Structures are given as structure tokens and as C-alpha cells.
Amino acid sequence: MLIKALTTADIPALLSIETVANPYPWTEGVFKSCFGSQYFNFGIFDNEQLLGFYFGQFIAIESQLFNICVRRDQQGKGLGSKLLAHFISQSEQRDATEAWLEVRSSNQSAIHLYTKTGFIEAGCRSNYYSSTSGKEDAIMMCLPLRFSN
């Protein structure tokens, strides 16, 4: 398996994974808008087949994980952990002092992964996400990476 940078040519494969794995998937337009100089986007590939991905952004001294997703038939095999570790490594290479993310309060498997990796709960955005029952809270999580100089 290989983790490598994504390009806009990967958008059809990204959409294919995202629409199956996420009840509220990103659109093609959202994916397209996340290819710019402040973004760092990587996928995990096996024989050129995309199995999962993440989209990160770096601004000033912080990085933010916008989306991380693993193909449904590949979930539970540690690919999410590998992608998250890569995101953290890329954040450190950019000299980020903290890495941030938001996660649905109902996504307990993701919260467990983030907590296991060292992220701590830093706040809550009430009624942030759409859900089948109306709205759902977003848990804000932070991973301190290093002290600023």
C-alpha cells in the first residue's frame, strides 16, 4: 500500500468512496474547491486503486482535518489509522503547532480513533451537522503538536 498526494483526476474515485461511506457526502464541487496551495490531500492506494483518503488544510500555525474516509469494504483494517498518522506527520512537516478536526457526536468509532491518537475534546458546536433527526452536534478535537518558538 502506498500513500500519495491526490489530484483532481482522483475526484471520481473520491466521490465513489465518499457517497457510499458517508450519509452526507461531499459533492464534486466541494472536492474541487479543496485543491489549492493551503490544502494537503492524500490517498491510500493498493495497486493504483484508491482505498481511502484525507483532506487537510494548513493556515498560519494550525492544520485542520476536513475529511477522512475509507472505502466501506476496507474499514476496520487500520487504514484510517494510517491516514490519520500521515495527516499528523504532514502537519508536523508544515510546522503546525496544533491539529484540529470536527467529528459528529454520533461517530463513536472516529472519536475512539482520534482519542487513541492523542486528540482531546476542545469544544462542541451545537446543532452543526444535518442528520436524519434534524441536527447533530460537532465535537471539536485538538492534537497539540509542538510548542511555538
CA distances from 14 to 17, 50, 69, 115 (A): 5, 8, 9, 26
**CB of 28 within 8 A of CB of 63?**
no
| Residue at 149 is within a domain | no
Is the residue at 44 inside a domain? yes
- Which CATH number covers residue 93? 3.40.630.30
In a domain, 96, yes or no: yes
Secondary structure class of 21 (helix, strand, coil): helix
Q: Is residue 76 part of a domain?
A: yes
Looking at the annotation, which residues are catalytic? 102, 114
pTM value surpassing 0.75? yes
| 135 belongs to a structural domain | yes
Residue 94 lies in a domain: yes
> Which tens digits make up the pLDDT trace of 49-81?
999 999 999 998 999 999 999 999 999 999 999
- The answer to whether position 82 is within a domain reads yes
pLDDT at 148 over 80: no
Residue 129 domain boundaries? 2-144
The total of structural domains in the chain comes to 1
- Whether pLDDT at 130 is above 80: no
Confidence of residue 17 (pLDDT cuts 50, 70, 90): very high
Supply 80's cell numbers: 484510517
Inform me whether the pLDDT recorded for 29 exceeds 80: yes
**Quick one: which of 57, 44, 35 has its CA closest to 17?**
44
